[in-house]
Amino acid sequence: MAAVKLATVWLGGCSGCHMSFLDMDEWLIELASRADLVYSPIADVKEFPPGVDICLVEGAVANEDNRHLARVLRERSRVVIAFGDCAVTGNVTALRNPLGVALEVLQLAYLRPHEEHARIPDDRTVVPVLLDRVMPLHAVVPVDYYLPGCPPPAERIRQLLSDLLDGRRPEQTADRISFG
């Protein structure tokens, strides 16, 4: 059987979900025998490749780069998983939403009342435009499975990946769908 093409993506979040992924520890060695990691922040491929079987997406959609990548990964992946509470609900990444639109938030962060010459980072060649509202993944592209938790415990990630690798339909029992 050909190795499954696995991708992991990190949008607007803290990488805690990726750390929990690494907390699968020695099961990663078994995973490496069944799957190729074709795109990930811990790998060096710069373009999201076509023909991905399973894609774990950590983080909320917070800027234009995130939104673009979300659309690309959806188009090129068979199964897309909202990986962790930020991808599922927006969570901590979305806590900036009540403060106002992007410009207002950036003003709060980079400009203070008496600094007329202070600046907001705006070199658009490299610095992505913030979206006015941080969104969960499913607000931008359709999602196949939800894997909640802040972060999802390693065992929960392992169960879902095992189910998908073995061709089982993942169960959404209570112990697998808690937040926080």
Partner 1 sequence: MRRVIIDPVTRIEGHAKISIFVDEAGQVVDARFHVTEFRGFEAFCRGRPFPEMPGLTARVCGICPVSHLLCSAKAGDGILGVRPPPTAVVLRRLMNLAQLIQSHALSFFHLSSPDFLLGFDSDPASRNLFGMIRANPELARAGIRLRQFGQRIIEHLGGRKVHPSWAVPGGVRSGLTPEAAADIREQLPEAQATTLIGIDLIKSYMDRHPEDIAVFGQFPSLYLGLVRPEDHGWEHHDGVLRIVDSSGAVIADDINPVDYSRHIGEAVEADSYLKSPFYKPLGYPAGMYRVGPLARLNICTGIGTEAADRELREFRQRAGGIANSAFLYHYARLIEILAAIEFIPRHLDDPQLTADRLRAEAGVNQLDAVGCSEAPRGTLFHDYSVDPHGLITRVNLIIATGQNNLAMNRTIAQIARHYIREVRTSVAIPEGFLNRVEHGIRCYDPCLSCSTHALGQMPLVVRFLGPDGEVIAEVRR
Interface residues with partner 1 (CB under 8 A) are: 10, 12-20, 22-23, 25-26, 28-29, 32, 36-38, 40-46, 62-63, 65, 92-93, 95-96, 98-99, 105-106, 108-110, 112, 114-115, 117-119, 121-123, 125-128, 130, 150-151, 153-154
Write down the least CB distance from residue 103 to partner 1, Å: 12
Which residues sit opposite 54 in a β-bridge? 6, 79
Write down the least CB distance from residue 156 to partner 1, Å: 12
Residue 33 or 173 with smaller CB distance to partner 1: 33
Residue 124 or 169 with smaller CB distance to partner 1: 124
Which residues sit opposite 24 in a β-bridge? none
Residue 110 or 171 with smaller CB distance to partner 1: 110
Write down the least CB distance from residue 17 to partner 1, Å: 7
Write down the least CB distance from residue 148 to partner 1, Å: 14
Residue 43 or 168 with smaller CB distance to partner 1: 43
DSSP string, the chain: -PPEEEEEEE-BS-SHHHHHHHTTTTHHHHHHHHEEEEE-TTS---SPPSSEEEEEEESBEEEHHHHHHHHHHHHHEEEEEEESHHHHH-GGGGGGGGG-SHHHHHHHHH--TT-TT------TTTSPPEEEEEE-GGGTS--SEEE-SSSPPHHHHHHHHHHHHTTPPPP--GGGS---
Which residues sit opposite 55 in a β-bridge? 7, 80
Write down the least CB distance from residue 73 to partner 1, Å: 14
Residue 46 or 169 with smaller CB distance to partner 1: 46
